[in-house]
Amino acid sequence: MNETPVQERRVRIANRMGMHARPAAAFVKLAGRFKSEIVLARDGLEVNGKSIMGVLMLAAEQGAELTIRGEGPDSEEALEALGDLVEDGFGEAGEEP
């Protein structure tokens, strides 16, 4: 049996504008670099972390808690990179509108 354990990381949205189109696109682009299946969840709603529409459906505002799950050969690396991206505010945490 060659099953890969599911990795999980909880993160909080740091940037003031939440996960709008630009941060969602950055998340999906980064998730797409990994072979593992990536799931993003909020309040019981689970979406494909490689789908821009799915990620936007979460409507995650500043302070929202998300769970990132990965299953596959590079899931640990994926969760580290994706979690850091979210927690670093997608590079726009200190930006003013």
Q: What is the pLDDT of residue 91?
A: 82
pLDDT in tens, 12-63: 999 899 999 999 999 999 999 999 999 999 999 999 999 999 999 999 999 9
- Which band of pLDDT confidence, cut at 50, 70 and 90, is reported for residue 92? confident
Domain membership of residue 69 as a residue range: 7-87
- pTM here? 0.90
29 is a domain residue: yes
In a domain, 60, yes or no: yes
**Domains held by the chain: number:** 1
- Beta carbons within 8 Å of 50's beta carbon, 6+ residues apart: 28, 31, 32, 38
pLDDT category, 94, cuts 50, 70, 90? low
* C-alpha torsion sign, points 10, 13, 14, 15: positive
CB within 8 Å of 78: residues ≥ 6 apart = 7, 31, 34, 36, 38, 70, 72
CATH of the domain at 32: 3.30.1340.10
Residue 1 lies in a domain: no
Largest CA distance in the chain: 51
Whether residue 44 contacts residue 52, with contact meaning beta carbons closer than 8 Å, is answered with: no
pLDDT band at 5 (very low <50, low <70, confident <90, very high): confident
Q: Catalytic residue positions?
A: 20
93 domain-assigned: no
Please state, in angstroms and rounded to a whole number, the distance separating the CA atoms of residues 49 and 28.
6
